[in-house]
Structure 1
């Protein structure tokens, strides 16, 4: 028998990408490339050479330097869903037009430049044709290591405190049309941090924020979120590290402590003479580690967030990360801006 070639089947969902920048190339496109039942068919970028190169590299059939071709033009018939990874203003331009056409959209955070614009996008989301999904790409809560933390703690009471540290080396100059570096920092790391806490604890009753200036272009922001029932969340955001550093500590009402360091190491402990049984007693700890080369896009959440969006579109399920859920995140950040002098 002669050798046979297996012909690829038609993907269940055809994806278009608007914005093949560094983030998309390093995180979203690799995650999409291994998503079962998905195929990238079109790429749009401002520069023709960037669009063409991304299409060649990731196997798309079509490219354009005008994103409207994928929403209102001839490319619309070639896609079932969009991934949008650009500036907040670009997101705000693309999302309502796509939703109105019944095109489901995965939009990177931040989805809008300000709260007023996001409120309009939430209205567009509610008015979209049935089965049209909007999903905001917050990867941190979808990380496999974070979900391991939450799944483990679920058997040990409810979370009472959250301590979250997110510091990076950037930005050191205003980006995305922001007026200041700290406002840019809030748009970048701040949206991630507040979203993670609000998914865990809900909207706070009180927000307190302070800023420390570290030189002319480096800053630290300390944010305290307080709840009427005594729960607390503390956030440290900064641009003074030489890389992204992420540390999340959750403490339950049974005094069980879970600490996740940089997606890679999860440590669990509990003081002696507290409720519960098992290895978490006295000075013992339970540690999980994820080797850096194993399942990186799942561990950091990029694969699993796209899987969630893909499943919602494919089966008509509600979005796990809708635009409307971001409104409280933006309102908390507006209060932080007011208290730190960075109101737009």
Structure 2
């Protein structure tokens, strides 16, 4: 396959500041069209890619331009429908996170991609950032051993209300800001997801989530997520079967400790653009996505790869709904009423 013809959908801040600069450095592609619901914003693409066609409709772009792939950074609640439409036309899709709102919607995306024979990708740039790549290499070594424990903290101030397309603020937190951190738990868990146990606490509009995820590899991931801090805070600690540990903070600094007393090393040669909630990894992920399109192989962060991540999201949401029903039932009983919970309500377990 020669040069890939690429269309862009959604010319907002994410596209202009992060995706477009990476696309302009990606070999073997040609950006041939762009669309945005606001014509002026669509036209802004001409500052970087002069002369390409622009439109205010994704449907018009995919119907009138001969595209091999489309890169979407639209309002998230639109991604699912737009991705389905593009795949039905045989166009490979790269969608900024989140690609959809529920596990059922993700399964439909996976099925559609399989039926249409197209490549898919989701913008999980943190997975491809230099510090995470280094951490994956370090923890894959024989010295570190198998990862037995993953301890991950992720705090941010937003969102505090349900975003468009989401039924609760909790789902918006999990999909809107913490999705990449949940994905890292799956990435380092290196095995089939077996069970999720979780508890949600609310403090006015803010909330915290404590979750424990068990994997068939024997690894356990403990997640502490929330919106109670006024700033972004991220930390991950991995413990290996050989008693070594590796830690990564929100500056991108890695600290290693070996099994021997006094064994200690720091890797902190990151730059401010290597890491962070919205930085790093864009060049690598897009290069690999288009290489998968060209060779017709799987891209690491495709729709299918996110199934366990979305299973964790659904398990947390299901457990929270069950807890709320139990509280409502207890309150009604105290008032002389009784409400029976629906059959099958559980604490986040799901069949393999």
Distance 1:333 1:50, change over 3 A: same
Structure 2 equivalent of residue 260 of structure 1: 248
Match of 1:16 among 7, 10, 32: 7
Partner SS for 1:146: helix
Structure 1 equivalent of residue 157 of structure 2: 169
Distance 1:89 1:69, change over 3 A: same
1:52 and 2:32 matched: no
Cα distance between partner residues in 2 of 1:261 and 1:245: 8
Partner SS for 1:205: strand
4+ runs deviating over 6 angstroms: 294-299
How far residue 208 of structure 1 moved from its aligned partner, in angstroms, is 1.2
Structure 1 contact 106–135 (Cα < 8 Å) conserved? yes
Match of 1:113 among 101, 126, 141: 101
Structure 2 equivalent of residue 323 of structure 1: 303
Structure 1 contact 212–221 (Cα < 8 Å) conserved? yes
Structure 2 equivalent of residue 7 of structure 1: none
Partner SS for 2:151: strand
Cα distance between partner residues in 2 of 1:224 and 1:297: 23
Distance 1:105 1:263, change over 3 A: farther
Structure 1 equivalent of residue 193 of structure 2: 204
Deviations 1:17-64 (A, max 9, x none): 111222222221122122233333321111111111234345461111
How far residue 209 of structure 1 moved from its aligned partner, in angstroms, is 1.0
Cα distance between partner residues in 2 of 1:189 and 1:134: 21
Partner SS for 1:264: coil
1:135 and 2:126 matched: no
How far residue 294 of structure 1 moved from its aligned partner, in angstroms, is 6.3
RMSD: 2.5
Of 152-161 and 191-200, the range deviating more from structure 2: 191-200
Structure 1 equivalent of residue 285 of structure 2: 305
Distance 1:245 1:15, change over 3 A: farther
How far residue 338 of structure 1 moved from its aligned partner, in angstroms, is 1.4
Q: What TM-score does the superposition give when structure 2 sets the normalisation length?
A: 0.83
Cα distance between partner residues in 2 of 1:113 and 1:164: 23
Structure 1 contact 190–333 (Cα < 8 Å) conserved? no
Q: What TM-score does the superposition give when structure 1 sets the normalisation length?
A: 0.85
1:149 and 2:138 matched: no
Match of 2:229 among 241, 244, 252: 241
Of 105-114 and 220-229, the range deviating more from structure 2: 220-229
How far residue 264 of structure 1 moved from its aligned partner, in angstroms, is 2.0
Cα distance between partner residues in 1 of 2:163 and 2:13: 15
Structure 1 contact 91–107 (Cα < 8 Å) conserved? yes
Partner SS for 2:94: strand
How far residue 283 of structure 1 moved from its aligned partner, in angstroms, is 4.8
Structure 1 contact 298–304 (Cα < 8 Å) conserved? no
How far residue 212 of structure 1 moved from its aligned partner, in angstroms, is 2.1
Distance 1:309 1:228, change over 3 A: closer
How far residue 65 of structure 1 moved from its aligned partner, in angstroms, is 0.6
Structure 2 contact 251–275 (Cα < 8 Å) conserved? no
Structure 1 equivalent of residue 89 of structure 2: 101
Aligned length: 319
Deviations 1:178-224 (A, max 9, x none): 2322221011234222222222223332211111223x221111111
Cα distance between partner residues in 2 of 1:14 and 1:125: 19
Structure 1 equivalent of residue 348 of structure 2: none
